[in-house]
Structure 1
Amino acid sequence: MKKFIACVTLALGLLPISVTAQGQVNVTIPSGTIIGNSIDNIEEFNGIPFADPPVGQLRLRPPQKLSTHLGDFYATGVAKLCPQGPIVSLPIELPSCGITAAGAVTESFGDEGPEDNQSEDCLTVTIHRPAGTKAGDNLPVLFYIFGGGFMIGGTSVSINNPTKFVQASIELGKPFIFAAVNYRVAGWGFMPGSEILREGSANAGLLDQRMGLEWVADNIEAFGGDPSKVTIWGQSSGSISVFDQLVLYDGDNIYNGNPLFRAAIMNSGSVTPVDPVDSAKSQALYEHVVREANCEGDDSLACLRGLSHEDFAAAANSVPGLLSYESLALSYLPRPDGTVLTASPHVLAREGKFPAVPMIFASQEDEGTLFSFFQEDMGSTDKITDYLSDLYFHNANKSLVRSFVSTYSERPEDGSPYRTGAIPPLCPYPGKKRIASILGDIVFTLIRRWTLETIDAVHPGLDLWSSFASYDYLLNPLGTKHGSDTTVFFDKTNAYPPTLRGRKYYINFVYNMDPNDGLPVNVTWPKYTEGKQLLWYNLLADTLRTDDFRSNTSDFITDYIDSLRF
């Protein structure tokens, strides 16, 4: 991220804890004694390994459980990030507002820090808990899966720091334990291709997340947590990952006879309809990486595993960045492999292949604005149709895609940022507000509605809630953009009204699987099945709104979702 900003700027064991030393605490688990930091009223244990290093012959393979004893392990530093994918692919001519765009990117995705804090040996869990917590306290656990488009991110990225959230839980009298998992991203975690499929090595990043959950089941009691009270939470691609964890192995979340989690929260992400890991697009990507690595031959996978980290990274990252003309047509993401994901998540949702646990789904009002910087000219239905047909919807004929695009108004005042009338968008170009609306809907907002309606159809009566955030309305040129929620939940204090209100709902859910039960809330949040009412987060006061906006588009997605796969 620093390089991007600089470039844009230039171009434009269940034992009680014991204090080992001032500021340090330890917890003993079967793999070793974990020594952490005690800072103010929070104890943190950073980067605890749960798997063998996925290097050499373990690169591009499913994770292997930790096979060595850690001894005295100092979890007092900064957890290593897994190697990061490309963040941005810059056009030849940068938009005049590029510096502002860079700031928006940093605000949403955080600063990954120095490159020397990245390592392929990165499969770790980080724990934050209230000071003085001990085995037997049985606090509920919030298990977090970070976002970043399956390209970037990590537990040590600034936007994922939960310290203020955990502190708030203490102040509110409802303390919990926060556990976050580091998983492989980009080509390391989600390499596609028939070679990967034949070997059984697809979706390694999802399996990293699942092994992190298993580590929590095995060890969280020693940290004072209750393994039977785990809520999984994710944001962006982490939210998509939460839904994938729901449908993983056809919905089997049982480990050693017990469920790995009892509830789920998804912020900006749910179902993503996708083609298989050996589809034409997937295979072309794999072959591109192999060519870039000079690994063409009889055993290209062995060659990729034999590369130095630098050479593999250069090949794997020779794809469009997370922010680019290609935008949300991501190169790397979870895809069906017949075993881990037996089918596209939308198919598994429709078949009811997920545990019937209480769920919260959240959206930001302007999910698509952050991903619409570099499309340059989307000033007609035909141009948007060509763009979506070429990069997104390979299974749909152009007439179908054109019909989909035609469900969106061509009037700029109807696009995103929404409710801004004639105010021009940031980095204006023809059709920008329209394409921002489309991108936000197909990955986040309206696919959320499809997911909720589908879950309700196959599991009637399941406890479901959904929210819609507008706290940055007219305060940010991108509106309430994708990633706004990480700042609200993690970075701000309880003095910021939306933060206090949002934290109360989530803490109640973590404790009681009901956002209204426990800490007092200002607005009772109705279940989604009660008239499709959304909790509407606003700056000064929350209210409710009906989830019926852009209904023509939503109906179209419902009718043709099998053709609208990525």
Structure 2
Amino acid sequence: MGFGPDMIGYEMSEDCLYINVIRPAGVDENAQLPVAVWIHGGGLTMGGSADRRYNLSFIVENSVELGTPIIAVSFNYRMAAFGFLSGPEVEASGATNLGFRDQRHALWWIKENIAAFGGDPDKVTLWGESAGAVSINAQLFAFNGRDDGLFRAAVVQSGFGGALHRYPGGLNNTSVASVNYKKLVQATSCASTYGTPASLQCLRDLPLSELMAVLNNRALNVAIWVPAMDGDFIADYPSRQSRDGRFPKVPVLVGQNTDEGASFGANRSATAGPINTDEEMAESVTRVLFGPNHPNLDSLVRELLYLYPDIQAVGIPSLDKYPVIKPGSPEAAFLGLQYRRSTAIYGDWMETYQLRRGLIAWSKHGVPAWNYRFDVTNVGVPGYQSAAHFQEIPYVFCNLDGVGYARNPFEGAPGSYKTLAKVMSNTWVRFFVSMDPTAGSGGWRQDSRPVQWPRYDPGEGGGVGRNIVWDADKVSYVEWDSFRAEGVNWMIENSLNALGT
């Protein structure tokens, strides 16, 4: 197994479908150890199992120290246009959602072969973050929720419960996929075949060098390649399948980071730049969430902005993490006066509402679920980002040396940060082993004090359950999952007609 670069700009190949198996030394092939299967993120556009930040050796070592050894597995899958090209021509050929289908084949391989490495094919837990989390959703809802017995539990970080809805209108929007397909075909020597069944075969026959040169063009290497509802792998909307219980009834450990929206709001992927006025905020949510042609556009925008007011004290990050952004300040020029408003909206749109919707569905159908909120600002992360997307990764992997990072996230941090990493990583191991993050913890403690983590039960809190809050500056604690409840509930209620999930 090797680790190396995996980002846009590095030479890659479609010959990428490899599986890594990491196991404790000396494991007998009859050991029947639990198996954790890591699915990497990267927006379904970039990333790979060779990323050094995903070195699974540390968590496997932790499992041995706990006396409950596991085997860890990771794999690659096709991404961008290779994995998620869509449009009528692609759908007619049955070649949709190939990246997700690659993952499914990898899971079948694990089912059929992991026993030879000492793993138990009946004790497989899926584990992923960001687009890896979205990939787990895809596997949970695949083929209308068909249970093929490929996994018995799932750990889903920053992306549980729904679809990757990068287009306005989400899965409702099929026109953008057709436009992107047209752009790709017409940018290659296949241009004359556009509009005919021959166009897809022409793309397949292109030299890889020509196709890669086109895909590396700025207009086509951005995150425009997303899953398609094809009536097969993705048979229905996640909101409907969740509501109806059309998914394998497996326990889940799920959660998100406090300031997820700092990765998706102003000056990030969701918007073109700083947002300073109500008019600019309305234009942004129109373009990103709904599209200009939605029949109820005016009322949707008005309702959403009412529920997410321009009050910095209720946006993200909190005022104790980053000061008030004042008119005329350098922060206003860079971030925009409505930065906190945009990050709250886009963070809840990308993460929170689908997470909460999924938790409610799991509870409704009697399936155990545990939810967390990660609230740590790592070394080197600016205050306006704080506990943003991806920040929990070195903790759950117990990557205390910062392998693969430009700067070690633990460098210069108090010892409590490494303590939290050990606690979180060990908790993930417990879930892989027993499907319960608190099982066998023996008075599970952080800084010598007990930490509790109740199952998520919306019946306890009038519609919401309880989370554990992972915090390195104080002992982790339990809270009600009620932040921005009105806005999140509105998104849940409008999952289908407005957001397309």
Instruction: Give secondary structure in 1 for the equivalent of 2:260.
Output: coil
Task: Report deviation, 1:194.
Answer: 0.8
Aligned to 2:351: 444
Corresponding residue number in structure 2 for 1:469? 374
Matched, 1:342 2:342: no
* Pairing of 1:345-384 with structure 2 (within 5 A): 345-372=238-265, 373-374=267-268, 375-384=272-281
Say which of 399, 404, 407 aligns to 2:299. 399
One-letter code of the match for 1:264? A
- AA aligned to 1:272 is A
Aligned counterpart for 2:87 among listed residues 193, 202, 205 = 193
Q: 2:179 is matched with which residue?
A: 284
1:557 maps onto 2:485 in alignment? no
Q: Rate the CA distance shift 1:273–1:132 in 2: closer, same or farther, 3 A.
A: closer
The yes-or-no answer on 1:506 pairing with 2:395 is no
User: 1:192 touches 1:278 (CA, 8 Å); kept in 2?
Assistant: no
Which residue pairs with 2:32 in the alignment? 138
Give the drift of 1:405.
2.6
- Deviation of 1:276 after TM superposition, in Å, equals 4.5
SS of the residue 2:82 aligns to: helix
Q: Which has the higher contact order (CA 8 A, sep 6+)?
A: 2
CA distance in 2 between partners of 1:564 and 1:349 (Å):
16
CA contact (8 A) 1:368 1:441 kept: yes
| One-letter amino acid matched to 2:495 | I
| Equivalent residue in structure 2 for 1:309, among 192, 208, 216 | 208
Contact 1:367–1:440, Cα closer than 8 Å, also in 2: yes
Tell me how far apart the structure 1 counterparts of residues 219 and 263 of structure 2 sit (CA, whole Å). Answer: 16
Work out the CA distance in 1 between the residues paired with 2:339 and 2:425.
34
After the TM superposition, which residues 142-161 of structure 1 pair with which residues of structure 2 at under 5 Å, given as runs? 142-161=36-55
Alignment partners' CA distance in 2, 1:224 and 1:320: 46
Aligned residues of 2:126 and 2:153 also touching (Cα < 8 A): yes
Q: Distance in 2 between matches of 1:233 and 1:346?
A: 21
Give the TM-score normalised by the residue count of structure 1.
0.75
1:539-550 alignment, distance < 5 Å: 539=472, 540-550=474-484
Where does residue 72 of structure 1 map in the other structure? none
Residue number among 391, 411, 414 corresponding to 2:311 in the alignment = 411
For the pair 1:331 / 2:224, whether they are aligned, the reply is: yes
1:129 corresponds in structure 2 to: 23
The answer on whether the counterparts of 1:335 and 1:344 sit within 8 Å (CA) in structure 2 is: no
Structure 1 residues 276 and 560: alpha-carbon distance in aligned structure 2, compared to 1, 3 A threshold: closer
CA deviation after TM superposition for structure 1 residue 356, in Å: 0.6
Letter in structure 2 aligned against 1:153 = G
Find the aligned partners of 2:48 and 2:440 in 1 and give their Cα distance: 31
Quote the offset at 1:473 in angstroms: 7.9
Distance 1:541 1:171 in 2: 23
CA distance, structure 2, for counterparts of residue 320 and residue 175 of structure 1: 46
| Offset at residue 487 of structure 1 (A) | 1.7
Partner of 2:448 in structure 1? none
Deviation at 1:78, TM superposition (A): 5.0
What is the Cα deviation at residue 279 of structure 1?
0.9
Q: CA 1:278–1:443 in structure 2 vs 1: closer, same or farther (change >3 Å)?
A: closer
SS of 1:130's equivalent in the other structure is coil
Question: Alpha carbons of 1:360 and 1:178: their partners in 2 closer, same or farther (altered >3 Å)?
Answer: same
CA contact (8 A) 2:274 2:335 kept: no
Change (3 A) 1:273 1:343: farther
In the alignment, what sits opposite 1:272? 163
Map 1:13-52 → 2, pairs under 5 A: 46=1
Distance 2:264 2:254 in 1: 21
Kept after mapping to 2: 8 A contact 1:197/1:278:
no
Shift in alpha-carbon separation, 1:549–1:190, aligned structure 2, 3 A: same
The structure-2 alpha-carbon separation of the partners of 1:366 and 1:194, relative to structure 1 and needing over 3 Å to count, comes to same
Equivalent position of 2:147 in the other structure: 253
Match of 1:519 among 434, 441, 452: 441
Report Cα offsets for 1:171-214 as digits up to 9, x if no partner. 22221000012001111101111111111110000001111101
Task: List alignment gaps of at least 5 residues for structure 1.
Answer: 1-45, 47-76, 87-113, 325-329
Q: 1:25-82: per-residue Cα shift (whole Å, max 9, x none)?
A: xxxxxxxxxxxxxxxxxxxxx3xxxxxxxxxxxxxxxxxxxxxxxxxxxxxx55896x
Question: Which one has the bigger strand percentage?
Answer: 1
AA of the residue aligned to 1:392: L
2:405 corresponds to: none
3-state SS in 1 of match to 2:392: helix
Cα gap change, 1:506/1:514 in structure 2, threshold over 3 Å: closer, same or farther?
same
- SS class of match (1:165): helix
Amino acid at match of 2:206: L
3-state SS, counterpart of residue 302 of structure 1: helix
The answer to whether the 8 A contact 2:158-2:256 is kept is yes
Deviations 1:488-539 (A, max 9, x none): 1225339712211111221111111111102332312101015411011000
CA distance in 2, matches of 1:321, 1:232: 31
- 1:260 maps to amino acid: L
- Map Cα deviations across residues 79-128 of structure 1 (whole Å, 9 max, x no partner): 896xx6x5xxxxxxxxxxxxxxxxxxxxxxxxxxx834x21111111111
Deviation sequence 1:227-274 (CA, Å, 0-9, x none): 0000001100100111110010111131xxxx1100011100021275
Question: Does the 8 Å contact 2:243/2:361 carry over to 1?
Answer: yes
Residue 56 of structure 1 is matched in structure 2 by none
Q: Which letter does structure 2 place at the counterpart of 1:435?
A: S
TM-score by length of 2: 0.84
Q: CA deviation at 1:350?
A: 2.0
Q: Percent identity?
A: 29
- Secondary structure in 2 matching 1:444: helix
**Which residue in the other structure is 1:533 paired with?**
466
Alpha-carbon shift at residue 441 of structure 1 (Å) = 0.8
Once the two structures are overlaid, the 10-residue window that deviates more, 233-242 or 306-315, is: 306-315
How many residues matched? 448
SS in 1 for 2:256: strand
* Structure 2 CA distance for aligned equivalents of residues 277 and 227 of structure 1: 37
Structure 2: unaligned runs, 5 residues or longer? 326-330, 402-414, 446-450
